[in-house]
Amino acid sequence: MPTSVTYSATLDVRRQTVLFLSALLHAERRRRGTRRGRRALGCFTQAVLILRWFCDGTRIRQLAADHRIGGTTAYRYLHEGIDVLAAHAPDLRQALNAAQQAGLTHINLDGILIATDRVATPGPNGADLWWSGKHKHHGGNIQIISAPDGRPLWVSDVRPGREHDMTCARHHGIVTALAVVRADLPTLADLGYEGAADVIHVPIKKKAGRRKLSDDEHTYNKLLRGLRGVGERANALLTVTFKALRRVSLDLWRIGKIIQAALVLLYREHEWTMSPSHDVIFSY
């Protein structure tokens, strides 16, 4: 008797998104000089494989079985898709320039931990490199800049989960970049970034020796929390839309490329347009 059941399923993405990714894959094959008929899957079918992994978090072994290809081939096809998508994500300067051109009132900065399988990689002081003491989980730290309505504008490369948000922000040059635009594009963040309070607007803490905050300070914190609360929607948009981001079992240093690829897919899926002046900068 057979030990498996065959059934039909629907991939919950727009056909235009599949065609977009298929076109990127076709262009990459032409760039590499891949000859016609040398691949096990066509570009459209490869795009479906990649989107199933992103959207549904389907295991590679299952994807390989469904498409009747080897596991190594399935991994290679997935990584090709991640790379061609991530190449279309904006860098930090481009994202900030686009936000300024759009006349945004402010931007939000937040960190997110992308969970991973357990790994044992000793850090500089012997501590587990990918273990986040804050989240009590292994993962990679990603910095996200979002618009006032919570739309993600930019995502960073990955840093080990043991690093704090402030450390990651400095490593990626975020603080320096935000200092350049702070006059007309304020940045809001939580107390994890209080080390850059001269550049980033963070809540006011009660100082040692003071019994309580003043009424004005309470009002400031309340307004800041209200604005930031909407901005935190960016994290949910990415992790809810793409199940693959809830736990990554690939090479941990690939997490940055994976979430950058997810950002590009998110814009395509929601039909958020890109700036006509630059094909990697999003317009609003």
What pLDDT tens digit does each residue of the chain (284 aa) get? 467 787 778 888 999 999 999 999 999 999 988 888 788 899 999 999 999 999 999 999 999 999 999 999 999 999 999 999 999 999 999 999 999 999 999 999 999 999 998 777 777 777 789 999 888 899 999 999 999 999 999 999 999 999 999 999 999 999 999 999 999 999 999 999 999 999 999 999 887 767 788 889 999 999 999 999 888 899 999 999 999 999 999 999 999 999 999 999 999 999 886 443 444 444 44
CB burial class (10 A; 0-12, 13-18, 19+) of residue 232? middle
C-alpha closest to that of 108 among 216, 224, 205: 224
Considering the entire predicted model, what is its pTM?
Answer: 0.90
C-alpha span between 112 and 101 (Å, rounded): 27
Q: Tokens for 171?
A: 């490593």
At position 48, the amino acid (one-letter code) is V
Residues with Cβ < 8 Å from 85, sequence gap 6 or more? 21, 24, 260, 261, 262, 264, 265
Position 277 scores a pLDDT of 41
Closest CA to 196 of 222, 168, 237: 168
Only one residue has tokens 């006059």, namely: 183
Position 124 scores a pLDDT of 75
